[in-house]
Structure 1
Amino acid sequence: MKTKKLGQKLKELRATRGMSQEYLAEESRVSLRTIQRIESNESEPTGETIKRIANALDVPITELTNSGAVTETSDLKATIIYLKKQLSKTNEKPEIKVFEKFIVLLERLKDKDLSIEQTESIESYLRYLELEKIPSFNNEIYKQKLAKLKRHLRNKLGFVPNNHYTTWTASFSLSFAIAFAIQSNIDAYLKLSVASVALFIVGVGIFIDMRVRRQERTFSF
């Protein structure tokens, strides 16, 4: 490992998370002097030190040790921090609303028990969105990017909104059943049969939602 590359990478990752050297030292239980020496390329840390720093930064060890460039939206945590910084710079209600929705969505993803593949897919898509290149407070572009991310979660990762199938089947079948029920010229037995079918369809929706929850694919959009 080249100390110079590690020192630069540590600086970049720390900056994207808004951490001071003092704060990182406290969180990682690595001395401030050691952090300073690594960043100034004066010292090559042990494996245990790298592990502690990576844990404090909430990144894999490989993220800290590889030579790829770090951007302000290189991963979930960095993107959340970046959007919070943007949020703090605006007083416009429409912009605040979009930033808050974006942040809430990403924080829910961060708190979700994602697989390595899911995390990599999401972070790769965040880099593709290039949020840091959006002109300052261009609300419409942020809204478009948020919509694209939601589509990616649904279409590529198979995430389903909470109670999606129950809501959809209930809306369809109950509307259909009510339309039958208000018709005075339809036999009562037929009305009852239609109502039974409607309830069965709702039951199917509930069953599918239960299966989706067991597969841990539900998500609050």
Structure 2
Amino acid sequence: MEKLEFRTKLIEVRKAKGLTQVDVAEKSRITVRTIQRIESGIVKPRAFTIKIISETLGFDFYDSSDICHDVILNQNSKLKRHTIFWYVKDLFNLKTNTMKKISILSTTSLIIVLGLFSFNSEIFAQTSNKKNSITVQKNMDKSIKRIDVRFTNYLTYDSLISIKNHLKAYDIKINYKKIEFDEDNRLKDISLEAFTKLGSGSFSMPLSDITKTGGFFVDYSKNTKTKFCIGGCDL
């Protein structure tokens, strides 16, 4: 091995490991001046010195195979991860570039909050589709846009009575023609009639499968094509 190659590799390995010349000197018990002179190319290290530094840094400077190159690449990867961490840490240091960093942090926080809100809203919507039987959509002026009424296996007898009474406030009348419950007192089969100002109809459907949903909707929007649908509707 030529001494210039050792000097170059020493600098690469030392920096890849995040060590200073002082660190290497203390670990190898070689003077800082000697390390500095070796790296600057002023002196040519003896074989014994190379051996000590190799043992100290855990890197065989006598091996010039591709394995050495892989070790240096791996160490550089660690260095890159360290550098990314440093940037993250520096982002929260508001002593420099204060306004820019505040802007970045504010934008990031807003994105996270909106993401969590969207995620929670989606979960709430999924839960509503399963358990909340009446969904009322309103326009900007608070007028009613659409009412969806769902019947699922989650419903009990008390739930059905509550739905019927609640719909009276929207001038919607329903008559249960047939209702059956399973051993857990949950809705198993239902048949009903619905009467609204925009349409009337009936449907019958077994609900033993919890993934099934039956019901009807009333759409008060001016431009909607379907004002009323019962049974196989998109709820």
State the TM-score, normalizing by the size of structure 1: 0.34
Q: Which has the higher strand share?
A: 2
Larger C-alpha radius of gyration, 1 or 2? Answer: 2
Structure with more of its chain in helix, by fraction = 1
